[in-house]
Amino acid sequence: MKTSGLGDWRRTHFTSQVVPELEGAEVVVMGYVGNIRDLGSLKFFTLHDREGYLQITAPKGKVGEEILAWIDQLTPQSCVAVRGRVIRARQAPRGVEVVPLEVKLLNPALSPLPLEPTGKIKSNLDTRLDSRLLDLRRPRQVAIFKIKHEIVRIARDFLTRKGFLEVQTPKIVATATESGAALFPVTYFEREAFLSQSPQLYKEVLTGCFDRVFEIGPIFRAEEHDTPRHLNETTSIDLEAAFVSQEEVMGILEEMLVEIFTGIRERCGGELRTLERTLEIPEKPFPRLTYDEVLRRLEEHGLKLRWGEDLPTPAERKLGELMRGPYFITEWPTSIKPFYIMPREGREEVCEAFDLMYGELELASGGTRIHREELLTRRLREKGLKPENFESHLKNFRYGMPPHAGFGLGLDRLTMVVTGVSNIREVVLFPRDRGRLTP
Ligand code: AMO
C-alpha cells in the first residue's frame, strides 16, 4: 500500500481532545491503528495515540471507495493520519467518531506482530520488554510513565521550594562508595574507572559550597541479584544538606513523599483508574522503629537475627506483613552501614543512619555524615578501604566541610509503590538486569 509523508498535514487534536462537542468540525488526528472491523455496510478502526483512542468510521456510500479499500489493507499498529469530520455517535465508545475525508498511511506495521497490541492476550514480561515500543503504546504502560513523570516533577518542585539546587555529578568515577563488590569497571583511556554507584561523595562535598543540593540521575550496581526489585541501572533521587542532621532530612523525606502521593492523586486520577490503583496518602510522622526494635519484633514472629546482621529478604518480607505503608528504621549497627555515616557519640557501634521502608520494600536510605577528616579516615580503614584511594575526596575535609546529612531515594522503587506494580522492570523504560542489555 502507498505510504506518504506528512506533507503539509499537521495534527489538530490528540484523540482524547476529539469530543462530542466538536460535532461537525474537521480534525486531523495521527497515531496507530488498533482494532479493525468490517460490518459490510460499515468499516471502522480505532486510532490510538499517547492520550487515548478514537473510532474512525467509514460508512459505505458516505466515504470514497478508495478510503474503504485503504482500510481493508490496514495492519494493526501501522502509523496513520486521518483528516475527517467529527460526528456525535452514542453507540461509539467515547460518544464520538470521525468520518474520514482523507487518509494517509505514514508507515505500515509488520503483520503478525510479536506482541498482541491491545493487551487482550497476555504476553510475558520478557516478550513485552523485547518489543518495548509496542508494549509502551498500551494505556497501562503510558499511565505508569505519566505517573513517573509527575513524581519527578513534584519532587523537583518540592526540593526547589525547599532551597535545594539541582546538580549533575560524574557517572564515570574512580572509587566505590557503597561496597567494593558492586562496581562496573570501564576502560578509561589507560586507566580503570567505574560507573558511579551513587552521587554520594560529590553531593556531600557540594554541601560545602551550595549548602543544599539534589540530583535525579542514574546509579549503577553490579549486583548479581535477580529479583523483582533490583536492577543494575536504576534512578535515584539523592539529596544532601549542610548544617543539619538525619532528623531534618527524614522530615524532608516524609514531607516530600506525602506531597508526591497527594499530587499524584490529584493530577493522575485517570492514570490511577487505568491501573486500578487506589492510592492511600500516608500520614506524617511515619512510624519510626529502631534496628533493635525490628530485631525484637522479628523474633516475636519466629525470625531470629544476629545483632549486626543486615536484614535478609525473609526479614523484610515479615516486616512487610507487620507494617503497611511507610516507616523508618533507625539506629543501625555501624558495621553494616557505609564508611561515611556518622557513628553515635559515646556508642560507636550504632550509627546515625536510617532506611525508609514501604511495607517490605526499602525505598530510601540516608543519615548524618562524618564531616571531620580524622574520623572519616579511620572509618575507611575500619571498612578495609584505603584512605589513599580517597585522597581527592578527603582533602575537601581540610577546607572546613560543614556538618551535613542526606538520603538517596530509589525513583523506580517509589514508582512501583505509587503505581502498585510488583516488578521494577515494568516501571523502567528499558531495564538493565543480569540478562538484559537490549533494547
Ligand atoms: P542505597 O545503596 O541504599 O544508598 O541506595 C539508595 C536507594 O536506591 C535504591 N536502590 C536500588 N533500586 C533498584 N535496584 C537496585 N539495585 C538499587 N540499589 C539501590 C533503593 C535504595 O534505598 N548513598 C546512599 C544513599 C545516601 O545515604 O544518601 C545509597 O546509595 O531504593
pTM here is: 0.97
Q: For a pocket test of ligand 1, which of 234, 253, 418 has the largest count of ligand atoms closer than 8 A to its C-beta?
A: 234
Give, as one character, the DSSP assignment of residue 126: H
- For 424, counting Cβ atoms within 10 Å of its Cβ (0-12 exposed, 13-18 middle, 19+ buried), the class is buried
- 364 versus 117: the higher-pLDDT residue is 364
- Mean pLDDT, range 226-247, rounded to an integer: 97
178 Cβ inside 6 Å of ligand 1: yes
- Convert the pLDDT of each residue in 71-89 to its tens digit: 999 999 999 999 999 999 9
- For ligand 1, say whether the CB of 431 is within 6 Å of any of its atoms: no
| Mean pLDDT computed over every residue of the chain | 96
Q: Domains of the chain, with CATH numbers?
A: 15-107 (2.40.50.140), 134-427 (3.30.930.10)
The closest residue, in CA terms, to atom 2 on ligand 1 is 178
The amino acid at residue 89 is: A
Share of the chain above pLDDT 70, in %: 99
Whether 179 shows a pLDDT value over 90: the answer reads no
Residue 12 alpha carbon to ligand 1 centre in Å? 44
Residue 180 has pLDDT above 60, yes or no: no
Q: Which of 219, 240, 424, 434 to mutate to test the pocket of ligand 1 (most atoms within 8 A of CB)?
A: 219
Give the position, in ligand 1's atom list, of the atom nearest the Cα of 221: 16
Spatial CA neighbour of 433 closest among 227, 259, 266: 227
pLDDT level of residue 216 (50, 70, 90 thresholds):
very high
Residues 344-390 have pLDDT tens digits of 999 999 999 999 999 999 999 999 999 999 999 999 999 999 999 99
339 lines ligand 1 (CB under 6 A): no
Is the CB of 364 inside a 6 Å radius of any atom of ligand 1?
Answer: yes
Please state, for a pLDDT cut of 90, what percent of the chain lies above it: 95
Confidence of residue 118 (pLDDT cuts 50, 70, 90): confident
Catalytic residue among 48, 137, 229, 371: 229
Report pLDDT for 181. 63
CB count in 10 Å sphere of residue 347: 10
Q: Is 31 in the pocket of ligand 1 (CB under 6 A)?
A: no
The more confident residue out of 224 and 296 is 296
DSSP 247-259: HHHHHHHHHHHHH
> Region 420-439: what's the mean pLDDT?
97
Atom of ligand 1 minimally distant from the CA of 340: 27
| Pair 362, 408: CB distance under 8 Å | no
